[in-house]
Amino acid sequence: MTEIDLDDLMENLAQCRRCGICRDAVYEDMGFDGICPVWKNTAGFETSFMRGKLMIAIALLEGRLEKTSDNTEALYACSLCGNCTEICAAEFDPKESLELVRAVLSDIPNEVRDTLAERILTTNNPYVTDKKGKRDWVAELGFEPPTKADTLYYFGCTAGMKLPETAKAAARLLKAAGIEFAVLEDEPCCGSVMIRTGRLQDAEENAKKVLESIQESGAKTVLVSCAGCLKTLRKDYPEKFNLSMPKIVHFVEYFLELVKSGKIKLKPLGKNVKITYHDPCHMGRELGIYEEPRDLLKAIPGVELVEMETNRRAAMCCGAGGGLRSYDPELSKKIAADRVREAEETGAEIIANACPFCEQNLESGAKLIDSSIRVADIVDLIVDLIE
Amino acid sequence: MDQRIVDELARIVGNEFVSTREDVLLTYSASASTGYESVQPGAVVKPGSTQEVADILKVANKYKIPVTPRSGGSSLQGEAIPKPDGLVVELLRLKDITVFEELRSVRVGAGITFGKLDKLLNQYDLWVPIYPESALVCTLAGNVAVNGAGPGSTAYGCIAEMVLGLEVVLPDGTIIQTGTEGNPNAPGPFLRYAFGPDLTGLFIGSLGSLGIITSVSVKTFKRVHHFHYETYGFETKQQAERFLIELKQNEIHALFVSIYEGKILDFFMDMLGEEYGIPKHEWPALTVSVTLGRVREDQLKSDIKLAKQICKQLEGHVIGIGELPKGEWDDRMRTFARSSYAHGWHWRILYHHQPPSNWHRSIEEIWAIMDKYHLLGHTAGFQSGHGSYNYYPHLYFDPQDKEEEMKVREAHKELAQRLFKTGAVPFKLAPYWIEDVEEMKDYLNLIKTLKRVIDPNNIMNPGIFGDM
Ligand code: SF4
Ligand code: SF4
């Protein structure tokens, strides 16, 4: 287990000069139009954005603030979207530091965090208390992918259990492109939410289990359709747990290559279909994948790609991440609704995305404000377009 | 804070916008003023309108609760640190903006930051051409309350010069409007000096001690699109100082002008040189970094030519490295954050103005203090208007080293006293500037009298001017 160096963490937290830029900076030259979605969608006390969260973290760690669930609330009212990190000029990563603070303070009771972890550890998913249902979509495919192959489709809990159409679309896409792929029999959860909410030790145990399952499948390449799985497997496992992973590739990256090389050709989606793209935080700010999804969308004949006011590194978050959707579902949905409004302003018919977790929340947000905009995964958009 | 009072506040703003939670109070006990002791308030309230601010102040007055107005929380000299068990009134929900294109002005609520306003005005090809270097966090109202300055001030002066009128809630809840908007039939803000004495000026730089500024009306200007960035080298301080005066005398429209000593410039290069793409150079003893900006290109060409001539007449030379002023100008909305981050730790800052001809006196005193106390520090500044130069020396300390922090506080106080003797002036009143200064007694007495009349219960940011 990679130990958290507390001195190092305290030194990082002390880097915050309380400038407050991470609250709601509008910085046109750099594309920022507001920073913290939690500040924006709550009463907006200092505790809601990173400056205040860090003050609370320091006070808790120094023992100036009592370690109670109430006093840690602000630490969890955050989607870890990283927009604050993006604009912060200090030499530390505030979002990453907050994630570590959650881990250091993980002995303070938090029912939501612990319930999620217990479910993942016992049932391989954060959603339900039994193992049923995660792989049901496979039965509806009309073909049975093997459990061992060079390429593994690691579908993830949200696609498997909440948006099976996306999981099916991804599998069909692979088949249509003539790629032989496996799907695990009992796919463990990537454990992203455990890392984000501070159950690091359990997350590490879980990560080893995930790697073992992948190794058993014999996969050299792991394809994912979820931005959270992507960031967790590609970045967190090696960096936090020192695990040596096979190649982890997002569908968008993978299919863009196939389109570019001419291996697959796409039919028109329609005529002048206006689409805007929502950057998942885990894919954009975390991994710098901004252009691939846009290039893939632009490669679809008949698509006009329009940008939201905030995009790429300055994109506002959908509100689902960092455990927020479980911790404060109402707030999480409000943030999503805000993002949907931003998409509506572009005149787009579709908000395309590359993450079922974002998609699920954006759909909730659209429902909250009765928006008729269609929220769709890029995979869903292209599955029927392969010539 | 007494629950009855909190309930009264909640009736005004709604439960959602008042808090006495321990964690919330902790986060309002401090601001960006890292070199100041935190003080826990008793409650924080977030009004959504001027009327709510007025109702809140009536309650505070009734119970004689000390009130600290706050907006961006980015002030650096302790202005928004509350009083024990006091009330913080946070104004960020006041977000109205009205553009008066024909009047060449804009009116903004106390929650509007410079960054937000700049983006909006850009759509009209307009700007308010002064950018405090905390422009992404700092609100116009907050900046007016501390009478700030920033890039752009070289041509346009301090923020006070932009103000056409203020809406202020007095401690008893009375709402007053200064400037032309005092006349409800006026089409908007178009003249500050309306209706006799300049009451607007009374509140500028008042640090929330006389009332709460809820909205600010300021001048707008056509946005400048023609820029020229240049550095000019001089061997003596007097030459460099003279250059600044001559730029002004000749109506050369410099938006941002700074003098750098060679050693300071090396320090700056370490911080941001690479990022700004500044080439390596043997800098002269003094470098003047200049951003020229004009609405019309012909004007700009004439300014470039004349600036070069003046430089030569003063036996200086055109260095030809534009990346330094360009970097400063392009980064103008957040240099405040960056200049220190690239370096040390927490800091104390000592804003003050000198005439450009006295530029060297501040530098001498700043170096002397740093040597005496063995402190790490840094100073920067810029020409801040008609005949002034704004300095903001930083004294750094490690937040985990209490001894060093105390040393910085002592050094800070001594520096203020020494600078005062050189003829420097602060743009705010602070105890460390005027304590024990016999010649200022009558001035202070007048301020005390005004404060007593306007705020008899002394609820508004008490003590902010020191022990008056
Ligand atoms: S986290 Fe960064 S941007 Fe936010 S207050 Fe601290 S230093 Fe400023
Ligand atoms: S990570 Fe996102 S939600 Fe969390 S404090 Fe930063 S900007 Fe706000």
User: Mind listing the pLDDT tens digit for each residue in B148-203?
Assistant: 999 999 999 999 999 999 999 999 999 999 999 999 999 999 999 999 899 999 99
Average pLDDT of every residue of chain A: 96
Number of C-beta neighbours around residue B315 at 10 A = 10
Q: Give the lowest-confidence range in A48-62, A183-197, B169-183, B454-468.
A: B454-468
Chain A nearest CA to B239, separation (Å): 35
CATH architecture of structural domain A114-257: 3-Layer(aba) Sandwich (3.40)
pLDDT, tens digit (0-9, with 9 covering 90-100), for B81-95:
999 999 999 999 999
Number of C-beta neighbours around residue B49 at 10 A = 15
With both helix axes pointing from N to C terminus, report the angle between A200-217 and A111-123 in degrees, rounded to the nearest 10: 20
Query: Which residues lie across from A151 on neighbouring strands?
Result: A221
In this prediction the ipTM stands at: 0.95
Q: In whole angstroms, what is the distance from residue B108 CA to residue A320 CA?
A: 33
What pTM does this model have?
0.95
Does A6-104 match A114-257 in CATH topology?
no
Protein residue whose Cα sits closest to atom 3 of ligand 1: A88
Q: In whole angstroms, what is the distance from residue A29 CA to residue A261 CA?
A: 36
Mean pLDDT, range A54-79, rounded to an integer: 97
What pLDDT, on the 0 to 100 scale, is given for residue B338? 66
What pLDDT, on the 0 to 100 scale, is given for residue A119? 94
Query: Which residues lie across from B109 on neighbouring strands?
Result: B215
What pLDDT, on the 0 to 100 scale, is given for residue B336? 67
Q: Do the Cβ atoms of B136 and A56 come within 8 Å?
A: no
SS3 A23: coil
Nearest alpha-carbon partner for B294 in B251, B356, B242: B251
Burial of A33 (C-beta count, 10 Å sphere; 0-12/13-18/19+): buried
* Six-digit token string for A116: 């999620």
Range ranked top by mean pLDDT from A82-91, A362-371, B375-384: A362-371
Mean pLDDT, range A280-292, rounded to an integer: 98
How large a percentage of chain B has pLDDT more than 90? 79
Q: CB contact, 8 Å: A170 with chain B?
A: no
What pLDDT, on the 0 to 100 scale, is given for residue B75? 86
Burial of A178 (C-beta count, 10 Å sphere; 0-12/13-18/19+): exposed
pLDDT reading at B281 higher than 60: yes
What pLDDT, on the 0 to 100 scale, is given for residue B79? 86
Mean pLDDT, range B356-360, rounded to an integer: 96
Q: Between 2.60.40.10, 3.40.640.10, 3.30.870.10, 3.40.50.1860, what CATH number should domain A264-382 receive?
A: 3.40.50.1860
pLDDT reading at B342 higher than 60: no
Mean pLDDT, range A243-262, rounded to an integer: 97
Q: Do the Cβ atoms of B17 and A43 come within 8 Å?
A: yes
Mean pLDDT, range B354-383, rounded to an integer: 92
Chain A nearest CA to B249, separation (Å): 33
* CB-CB contact of A7 with A42 (8 Å): no
Q: Work out the pLDDT band at B378, boundaries 50, 70, 90.
A: confident
Q: Return the residue of B nearest to A25 by Cα.
A: B136
What pLDDT, on the 0 to 100 scale, is given for residue B468? 55
Which of A11, A12, A13, A22 to mutate for ligand 1's pocket (most ligand atoms within 8 Å of CB)? A22
Burial of A285 (C-beta count, 10 Å sphere; 0-12/13-18/19+): buried
* CB-CB contact of A42 with A49 (8 Å): no
Dihedral sign from CA coordinates of B275, B392, B138, A13: positive
Number of C-beta neighbours around residue B91 at 10 A = 27
Largest separation between any pair of C-alpha atoms in chain B: 71
Question: Given the CA of residue A82, which atom of ligand 2 is nearest to it?
Answer: 1
Q: In whole angstroms, what is the distance from residue B288 CA to residue B302 CA?
A: 19
What pLDDT, on the 0 to 100 scale, is given for residue B340? 57
Q: CB contact, 8 Å: A46 with chain B?
A: yes
The label of the residue with tokens 């602060």 reads B426
Domains, in order of start, for chain B:
3-90 (3.30.43.10), 97-222 (3.30.465.10), 226-338 (3.30.70.3450), 344-428 (3.30.70.260)
Substitution target in A19, A72, A87 with the highest count of B β-carbons within 10 Å is A19
What pLDDT, on the 0 to 100 scale, is given for residue B262? 87
Chain B nearest CA to A44, separation (Å): 8
Q: Which of residues B392 and B70 earns the better pLDDT score?
A: B70
* CB-CB contact of B344 with B271 (8 Å): no
pLDDT, tens digit (0-9, with 9 covering 90-100), for A293-314:
999 999 999 999 999 999 999 9
Neighbouring residues of B23: CB distance < 8 A, sequence distance ≥ 6: A47, A56, A65, A70, A71, A73, A74
Average pLDDT of every residue of chain B: 93
pLDDT reading at B251 higher than 70: yes
What pLDDT, on the 0 to 100 scale, is given for residue B431? 77
Backbone angles phi, psi at B113, to 5 degrees: -90, 160
Domain ranges of chain A: 6-104, 114-257, 264-382
Dihedral sign from CA coordinates of A46, A49, A50, A56: positive
What pLDDT, on the 0 to 100 scale, is given for residue B269? 84
Superfamily of domain covering A6-104: Alpha-helical ferredoxin (1.10.1060.10)
